[in-house]
Structure 1
Amino acid sequence: MSDSQLPLPKPDSEIRQWAMFCHFAAFFGLIFPFGNVLGPLIIWQIKKEADPFIDAQGKEALNFQITVSIAAMICMLLMVVIIGFPLMVLVGVGALVLTIIGGMKANDGLPYRYPFTWRLVK
């Protein structure tokens, strides 16, 4: 096995925990309007310099929540023609499940990339 194929060392528990918080901070959206975007943004901005793993997972969580917010706004517009109601449920359930998966993977020290995500923050 060459050096480039060796597995990366697992980040320490504090780094993994902050990366997990970047994902789970999206649940602030249940309390505050746009908290799903503001939560990951605030934690990422505060902790991004601490470790590249936190930086990468914070960006990923933020990009996903921006995508979810855009999708939710489109669903609200589509509620005029009824189809927005089931689509909003689909977006909500998908966001919930994928956010939990992202947080759990980050806590395990594994980088997680959300599917269906528009990556605006690089």
Structure 2
Amino acid sequence: MRQDNQLLVITHLSQLITLVIGFGSLIVPLILWLTQKDKVYQMDDHGKNIINFQLSLIVYCLMCIPLILLFGLGLVGFIILGVIGFIFPIINAVKASNGEVPTYPLSFRFIN
């Protein structure tokens, strides 16, 4: 296994591809994780954290849809999720570049 902090940073930042093309925040990190988890040191831990975070965001978005009817709380939820989905990949990319294994807040553990 090789140490490749640059690829770990790219994996975290690949979640932001949705801002450019409208989709892919789950697909691109998933592909990077599945192809590199046995080759790059700590990729398995980082990849699991990213996939769990992205799946959790999807669950929270689905929860916001019915809340739109309740005084528009779902819209506030979408805004908060958008901010969280933008800020934490950047913060964790910086942590990954420093050799830390970052965690994402409010993530369910779908993959251990």
TM tier, smaller? 0.7 to 0.9
Matches within 5 A, 1:1-122: 12=3, 15-30=4-19, 31-33=21-23, 35-81=24-70, 82-122=72-112
Once the 2 structures are TM-superposed, how far is the Cα of residue 76 of structure 1 from its aligned partner?
2.2
Task: Give the alignment's Cα RMSD to 1 decimal.
Answer: 1.5
Specify the code of the residue in structure 1 equivalent to 2:48: K
TM-score by length of 2: 0.87
Identical counterparts, % of pairs: 27
1:33-77 CA distances to partner (integer Å, 9 max, x unpaired)?
Answer: 3x1111210110111111241111111111111111111121123
Letter of the 2:110 counterpart: L
Which entry has the higher C-alpha Rg, 1 or 2?
Answer: 1
Runs of 4+ in 1 over 3 A off after TM superposition: none
Structure 2 residue runs without a partner (length 5+): none
Q: Which amino acid aligns with 1:47?
A: Q
User: What runs of 5+ residues in structure 1 fail to find an aligned partner?
Assistant: 1-10
User: Following TM superposition, by how much is the alpha carbon of 1:29 offset from its aligned partner in structure 2, in angstroms?
Assistant: 2.3
